[in-house]
Amino acid sequence: MTTTLKHAGDEEYLEAAAQRALPGEDVQAAAIFGLQDAIYGMMAGGAVGNRAGEALRHLGPVGDVAGLAVDVAAIHEAKKVMAKASGDMTVGLLVAVTTDRIVVFNWDGDGATEEKASFDRATTEVIVKRLGISKVVTLAPTDGSPGLKLHATTARMKKQSGPDKLVLHLLSGTSEEG
């Protein structure tokens, strides 16, 4: 487990972190989402890691463990590269919903760092689509300015699903399940 997901399932911690980053604003919810483009890095890293891991698997059980470790490391590193290339973002992003805004911060595992994007809730269309156990969240300003695609999860087995569901509910006005 990476440090970027540290506290990902703790609604109170995430809201407090968002409130510290947004003093004077009414934070309604916060969650750790990922950058949708990082999914492509994950797929590429998985393919590369799988090939590299196969070279170790002939060593038996030790090789199997080493191969799996190579797979996981390759996936994580590829996600980091894609996130960085997409605007110097971290793999995990703190998405804070306030009364008036949707604010996206880099997340270091313990707190919000640099603000990466801000959207006016009144003029941003939020489109949520299901992709397996993930939700693809498109934030599309109606004035034509650049938007952002994120991914979240509502899968019960994922620790971040509680905070993610709450943010998705506030953004889309529906109960996001499954």
Residues in Cβ contact with 71 at an 8 Å cutoff, skipping those fewer than 6 apart:
46, 49, 50, 52, 53
Residue-level pLDDT at 8: 75
Decide if 169 contacts 175 (C-beta within 8 A). yes
Q: Are 69 and 56 in contact (CB under 8 A)?
A: no
pLDDT range class, residue 49, cuts 50, 70, 90: very low
pLDDT at 176 over 80: no
| Closest to 11 in 3D by CA, of 169, 137, 136 | 169
pLDDT in tens, 79-112: 444 445 445 677 789 999 999 999 999 998 899 9
The C-alpha atoms of residue 104 and residue 122 are separated, in whole angstroms, by 16
Q: What is the pLDDT of residue 83?
A: 47
Q: Which residue has the higher pLDDT, 39 or 169?
A: 169
Q: How many CB atoms lie within 10 A of CB 34?
A: 25
Q: What is the pTM of this model?
A: 0.71
